[in-house]
Chains A and B, each alone.
Chain A
Amino acid sequence: MTDQAYNFAYLDEQTKRMIRRALLKALAIPGYQVPFASREMPMPYGWGTGGVQVTAACLTPDDRLKVIDQGADDTTNAVSIRRFFQRTAAVETTERTADATVIQTRHRIPEQPLAEGQVLVYQVPIPEPLRFLEPRENETRKMHELEEYGLMHVKLYEDIARHGEIATAYAYPVRVEGRYVMDPSPIPKFDNPKLAGNPAIQLFGAGREARIYALPPYSDVVSLDFEDHPFTASKADHACDLCGAGSSYLDEVITDDRGSRMFVCSDTDFCASRQAQGHRGRLSPQGATP
Chain B
Amino acid sequence: MTLMQNAITAAPLLSVQGLTKRYGPRIGCADVGFDLYPGEVLGIVGESGSGKSTLLSCLAGHQRPDQGRILFDGADVLGFSEAERRRLLRGDWAYVHQNPRDGLRMGVSAGGNVGERLMAVGARNYAAIRESATDWLGRVEIAADRIDDRPSAFSGGMQQRLQIARNLVTGPRLVFMDEPTGGLDVSVQARLLDLLRGLVRDLGLSVVIVTHDLAVVRLLADRLMVMKSGRVVETGLTDQVLDDPQHAYTQLLVSSVLQV
Contact = CB atoms under 8 A, between A and B. Distances in A.
A153 B124 CA distance: 8
A148 B120 CA distance: 7
Interface stretch (B59-67, B125-133, B212-220): B125-133
Nearest to B120: A150
Contacts of A258: none
A166 to B, nearest CB: 9
A158 B124 CA distance: 13
B92 interface: no
B112 A157 contact: yes
A161 B86 contact: no
Contacts of A153: 119, 124
B120 A227 contact: no
B108 A227 contact: no
B126 A228 contact: yes
A80 to B, nearest CB: 37
Contact of A146 (B82, B116, B124, B127): B82
Interface of B: 82-83, 86, 90, 105, 108-109, 111-112, 115-117, 119-122, 124-127, 129-130, 147-148
22 contacts: A146-B82, A146-B83, A148-B86, A150-B90, A150-B117, A150-B120, A151-B116, A157-B111, A157-B115, A157-B126, A157-B129, A158-B108, A158-B109, A160-B126, A161-B109, A161-B111, A161-B112, A161-B130, A226-B124, A227-B124, A228-B127, A229-B126
B229 to A, nearest CB: 34
Nearest to A152: B119
B114 to A, nearest CB: 10
State the main secondary structure of chain A at its contact with B: helix
A150 B112 CA distance: 11
A142 B85 CA distance: 13
B86 A150 contact: no
A236 interface: no
A226 B126 contact: yes
A154 B125 contact: no
A228 B125 contact: yes
B115 A154 contact: yes
Contacts of B116: 150-151, 154
Contact of B120 (A142, A151, A229): A151
A129 to B, nearest CB: 15
Contacts of A148: 86, 120
A154 B119 contact: yes
The 4 nearest A-B residue pairs measured at CB:
A150-B120, A150-B119, A153-B119, A226-B126
Nearest to B122: A150
Given A153-B124, A160-B126, A228-B125, 6 more contacts: A150-B119, A154-B112, A154-B115, A158-B108, A161-B112, A226-B126
Contacts of B86: 146, 148
A157 B109 CA distance: 9
A157 B115 CA distance: 8
